[in-house]
Every structure is written in C-alpha cells, then in structure tokens.
Chains A and B, each alone.
Chain A
C-alpha cells in the first residue's frame, strides 16, 4: 500500500497530513486539513492493513465506514468523507476538540457529583446512539471525549452493531471482540444487538471513576472474563466508606449480569443520575461485601442462571421503556381532569411494564419580589409535591417507576418542554385545556405541543371537552411529534 506516503506534510486526496495524533494497533489517526476549502482541522483514520495483522482491523474499519455516515448529533464526530478502499482506505471526520476521559484516569477516584455528572453525559450520548439503532459495544474512557460545550462524544465504531446494516463482525469472528474489563456478560455469548450491553460498560466506567478500581480485571482470556457471570464485584461502599447509597444502587444496577435487571434504556439511567434523591434504594444500595462463596458457587453451577443470558431473545426495544411525563395541574378545580389523566396514565403504563412515569407540575413564577416570598414559594413547592404524590397513590406504582417534579418558571409551557428535553422524555401526557381556561365560559382552549417547540393555544369550537394527546419528543431536538392517543372530538382543530 502507499504507506510511505503517509507522512507529515504529505497530501492524500487533497488532505494535508498535519500531525500523527495516534498510532494504534489497528489504525493511525492523523490531524488533517483541506487546504482548498478552509483550515478547519479534521481527523483522518487510516486502517493498518498489512499482511498478518488482525483481520478485525479491516472488518472494524468496514463497519465504521458504514456506521459513521449514518449517525448524527453532537454525541458523535460528524462524518466528512471516506477514501476508496481499493486505493487507500480512510475515513475523514470532525476533529473533536475536548478532553478524552482517558486523561482523567490519573485523577481517580473522582468526587461522586462529578462521576454522576459524567455519567449523565455519557448516558445521554448512549441514548442518542441507541435511538439511531446503534449499539457501541466498546464503551470505555478512551472512546469518550467531553466537548468544551459539555456533551460527551462517543468515538470508534469499529466494534459497533447497527440494526439496519449487516453485522460483519459477527459473521467474521467466532470470538467476542471488545475490551475485557468493560465487556457485558452477553457479549461473551456473542450477543451484539442489546443496547443494555453499553449500559453495563457504562456501569463499569462509573464504578471505576468513583472508586479508582475496576470491577472486573482486564484479563482477556475467555475463562477469566466468564467469571463475571457468577462472581459479583466488590460493592463500592466497601472500597469507599462514604460511597452514597444512591450511586451504589445505580452502578450495581448497571452491572447486573442479566440485561433485564439493568436499566432498560440509557435515558432511564440518565434520569436516575439526574434525580438522585428519588432513586429507589434496594438491597443493592446497602451491600457492604460481596456474596458468599456458597452463593457464588450456586450461580456458577446453576444452569438457570446463565441460560437467560445465552438464550436471550430480542432485547427490550427502547419504545417499550419510555419515560412518560405527565403534566398535572394539581390546584383545586382540576380534580376531574386529574382523574381522567390518571386513567390515561394507568392504561399507558399497563401496556409498557418498563415505562416510567414522571409526574410534573409547574409552579408559575415571575411575580413581584417581596420579602417572605422564598418561604412562601418553598411551602408551595412542598404542597405541590404532596399533591402530586397524592395524585399518583391510586396507581400503586412501584417506587422505581414513578418520580415527582415541581418545576418553576415564568412560562409553564417552556419549563415543561425544557424539562422534557433535558430528561429525554419520550411522551408527554397532558390535558388538552387548563381548568382555568375560558372553557367555563364556553370557549375551551387546547394547549398543544407545537412542532415549533412551544406550547400554543388553539381555540376550539363550543362543546368540545377533554381532549388529550401524547406528544413524543424526538431525540436530540425540541421538535415534538403529536400522536393523538385518546378520543378526539370531531371538530378538533390543529
């Protein structure tokens, strides 16, 4: 090949090679520019394709070349172009300025708040990736860059799987590829289509970043990697006495052997990391030592423990585990609407056992500031929380399926949308008109979530009532799609 041409100052298909950034086993990374156009730095990835090299280098490169152009959003490097494989294969992509998480390893363990903050960023990035039908399958510090603007960027899709593309890795190799200490149990059985494998790897990363110790060793022999099927890691609280129970709960849930026991989606993981005071603490959070050897041996020789992982059918599709926000007006006078909404919520949750409900109320602000307002607002805040919990009580939901949020803002619609975007809410369930609307005067108003990103009111003809709808948030954007889920009056205007 024309390897000799790959040196600093040379040009390849018009790209000026400026600096060799990384020289790895499978590929070289060059910082390049396109002098004909502008001086924006780009990254060129060139696979090492010499005889006798790992064939995974070629196949991984093929996968990345297929997957990267199909991805969008701030959580991946944007794709620029690719070289002709028969001449000189390469991929040119955005040069992501920022800090690789690899550089943080010297600072471990990090403060818990910072770990949670990093966790939210990575989970948000994974959620974006999973919604684009891709499982990364090699989540680890060296594959994550934090942009100066704060978003996590996932890089290196050589081991990834795209649900809408042929999985060349799986066909080519009979051994699992990945990074030993981050690999999920199901990956050892060649399962490559479950987004929850990335949640496991993120759990390893969070454990490592918060304790300074990896939960599983980096021995990549199959026998050593299989130990994680039955041997549980040391609970973080044993390693750091002040380890917060909510973080241990989250981290150990990510590290569950059975994918079904982990978070169903990265969005739900991010949600818990964002709402640590509402994480439902189970026995996981209290664990101070590893399971006894008898328990481990029972798992080791119990076929039923392993079988579900090996025989795991299709993973839970993300749309079966949505975050449903329900916008509630809990002030007096809205009782009937709240009851109707409860019935709608009940039906929604019944059909999707992994869905979780976020009960949201907006406390309108913007009044004149005067003394004593803080106390008053704080008391109103508590009152609203109490009312939300009271509303949800008849649903009899498990603690880990429901959370309560009182938002504050001058514009309730904007607050609700901002919350939905930040919490990666899939659907918003809301009444079509507020109780204090001119409905009582005979002209009902429909508040509808508009694709423009703001709530707007639409005047409806006389006699219409109780129109409800679900709005789905399209990932990465405030743009909302309106799906009408309930009975809609025939004169509905939208």
Chain B
C-alpha cells in the first residue's frame, strides 16, 4: 500500500506513515501526528473501540471488516478490562500495529499498565487480574499507547478530546461541542461511551446530534465538523448485544456503523471460568 512508506518505532509501538511528529505534553502524555499521505486517497478505515478483552467479539468484527475490504484499522482504546482474554486481544492489537494500524490508549489500558486510574472495586478486581495475565511486552505496549493521534483531517482519541487524560464521556451536545472546539481536526473519532452517536458542528456553531442506524451510511459532510462516538466491540451498552464498530470511507466521507453478532456464550463462559464478576458475563447478553 502506498501510504506505508516508513515505519517508526517508539518503544514497542510501531507506526507506518510518511512522516510523524512525536509530542510529549507537560504531563508526559503522548500525542502523535501522522501524515499518511492519504489525504486524497480512497480508503476504508475500520474503527474499533472498547474491545474489553472480548476475543469472540473482536474476532467477529475483524472478520466482518475484512469482508468489507477495509484497508486500515484504527483501535480507539480499552483493549482490556471486563473480559477474560486480555492477552490474546492485546497481542492481536500489537500485531495490527506492527502492520501499520493505529492504536490509542484507553482508561482501562492506562489502569492496567500504569495503575493510575481510580476504578470501581469490581473493575479494579478485573484490572488487577488482567495485569497478571499480561506479559511485560504487552504491559509496555499498553503503557506507551498515545492519547491522541492526528491523521490527515482526523483526530483519534479515546474520550473527550479537550482533556484526553481526564477520560470524560462525550454524552451530550455540550460535551461534543467542547471536544470539537479543542481540536482543529475536521473529524474526531472517539469511544469510551459504548453507545454510538454522531455530532455535527455547523459553520454557525449549531450542533446536531444523531443516533446512527446500523448499516446505513451517514455522510460526514465536508463543510461541517463532526465528532463520531463509536459503539463498543466487546461490551455494547445500548440494549443490543451485537458487537459494534464502524467503517469510514475517506473517499465519500461516509461512516457506516456495523452490528456484528458474535458468540456471546463463549465470551460469557470464559468470564465465569476465570472467576471474574458474574455481572460482566450477564451484561453481554443484555447489551447493557
């Protein structure tokens, strides 16, 4: 692929692109600017967020995305937590990153790698368990994930872009407006909320909010700015238990949300077998 000109290595993280800018802000948090040279190229990007160590869900989404001929993968964080397959999931993400994919840091990843996030006791239990499951390479990988990645006119971030390390949810028009005003990127893609949403900012500063319908492409009109909240691959929370991700077409600027059924039974059984909190298994069936 033409855009894979160079690869840059930073600790365990490899990024493929034309040129790259590494930034460390005052809090020593990593942000990355990529210039992929794909500004005018047509490309399908699969955007996957909040995988939460759910192997069957990630496998189903990856297979689905490959069927759609996606050429690039962007992972928006939270590879671990809740689920029982952190090692496989993180190893898979590392392979994708080696092949040029983008991977962001989520609050659960930060919690596992750096133990720096206050979490609910049940979640903390899983976080501690997860740490024991991961090898040193995986932990280092999680520790060095960037908080934001700029690629052409797109910003990838796990939560609210106005303060990426605060892990604020983008739940309302006001949150979306704050996040969009904090960046010059025309498009922001984030996760964290586990419920799909699209926010549009017009030239008159009016913000549209919209819940996308799975399978129906929504054009992110070029003369507006947009913030897209991805659903969750591994723990959907909008009453639909199917795994959720989206595909963005850089040519038509259309984003299509996808719902992919997966083997919930297997994911739930694995959680129970590892003596992780039962609710994390039950909620998978409910999509809550």
Q: Which residues of A contact B (CB under 8 A)?
A: 55, 59, 62, 65-66, 84-86, 163-168, 171-172
- CA A172 to CA B206, docked complex, whole Å: 6
Among listed B25-33, B145-153, B196-204, interface-contacting one: B196-204
Q: Is the CB of B202 within 8 A of A168?
A: yes
What 5 A-B pairs are tightest by C-beta distance, nearest first?
A: A164-B216, A166-B210, A171-B208, A164-B213, A166-B208
B215, closest chain A residue (CB)? A164
Give, as a whole number of angstroms, the nearest-CB distance from B163 to chain A. Answer: 26
A86 touching B213 in the complex, CB below 8 Å, given contacts A55-B204, A166-B208, A168-B202: no
Q: Which residues of A contact B219 (CB under 8 A)?
A: 66, 165
Interface residues of B in 177-226 (CB under 8 A from A): 198, 200, 202, 204, 206-210, 212-213, 216, 218-219, 221-224
Q: Is the CB of A85 within 8 A of B213?
A: no
Q: Is the CB of B204 within 8 A of A166?
A: no
Q: Is the CB of B213 within 8 A of A163?
A: yes
Q: Which residues of B contact A66 (CB under 8 A)?
A: 219, 221
Q: Which residues of A contact B208 (CB under 8 A)?
A: 166-168, 171
- CA A166 to CA B209, docked complex, whole Å: 7
Give, as a whole number of angstroms, the nearest-CB distance from A44 to chain B. Answer: 19
Give, as a whole number of angstroms, the nearest-CB distance from A325 to chain B. Answer: 29
Known: A167-B208, A171-B200, A171-B208. 19 other contacts (CB 8 A): A55-B204, A62-B221, A62-B223, A84-B222, A85-B221, A85-B223, A86-B222, A86-B223, A163-B213, A164-B213, A164-B216, A165-B210, A165-B218, A165-B219, A166-B198, A166-B208, A168-B200, A171-B206, A171-B207
Interface string of B211-251 (1 = CB under 8 A from A): 01100101101111000000000000000000000000000
* Residue from A55, A65, A164, A171 in contact with B218 in the complex, judged by beta carbons closer than 8 Å: A164
Give, as a whole number of angstroms, the nearest-CB distance from A83 to chain B. Answer: 11
Q: Is the CB of A164 within 8 A of B204?
A: no
B226, closest chain A residue (CB)? A166
Q: Which residues of A contact B210 (CB under 8 A)?
A: 165-167
- CA A65 to CA B223, docked complex, whole Å: 12
- CA A66 to CA B218, docked complex, whole Å: 8
Interface residues of B in 143-168 (CB under 8 A from A): none
B207, closest chain A residue (CB)? A171
Q: Which residues of B contact A172 (CB under 8 A)?
A: 202, 204, 206
A-B CB contact pairs (8 Å), 17 listed:
A55-B204, A62-B221, A62-B223, A84-B222, A85-B221, A164-B212, A164-B213, A164-B216, A165-B210, A165-B216, A166-B198, A167-B208, A168-B208, A171-B202, A171-B206, A171-B209, A172-B204
Q: Which residues of A contact B198 (CB under 8 A)?
A: 166
Q: Which residues of B contact A171 (CB under 8 A)?
A: 200, 202, 206-209
Q: Which residues of A contact B223 (CB under 8 A)?
A: 62, 85-86
A166 touching B218 in the complex, CB below 8 Å, given contacts A85-B223, A86-B223: yes
* Residue from A55, A86, A164, A166 in contact with B200 in the complex, judged by beta carbons closer than 8 Å: A166
Q: Which residues of B contact A84 (CB under 8 A)?
A: 222
- CA A59 to CA B221, docked complex, whole Å: 11
Q: Which residues of B contact A85 (CB under 8 A)?
A: 221-223
- CA A172 to CA B222, docked complex, whole Å: 17
Give, as a whole number of angstroms, the nearest-CB distance from A371 to chain B. Answer: 61
A163, closest chain B residue (CB)? B213
Give, as a whole number of angstroms, the nearest-CB distance from B224 to chain A. Answer: 8
- CA A166 to CA B197, docked complex, whole Å: 10
- CA A415 to CA B54, docked complex, whole Å: 53
Interface residues of B in 69-84 (CB under 8 A from A): none
Most buried by B among A85, A86, A165: A165
Give, as a whole number of angstroms, the nearest-CB distance from A390 to chain B. Answer: 45
B198, closest chain A residue (CB)? A166
Interface residues of B in 102-154 (CB under 8 A from A): none
- CA A63 to CA B44, docked complex, whole Å: 24
B210, closest chain A residue (CB)? A166
- CA A27 to CA B216, docked complex, whole Å: 28
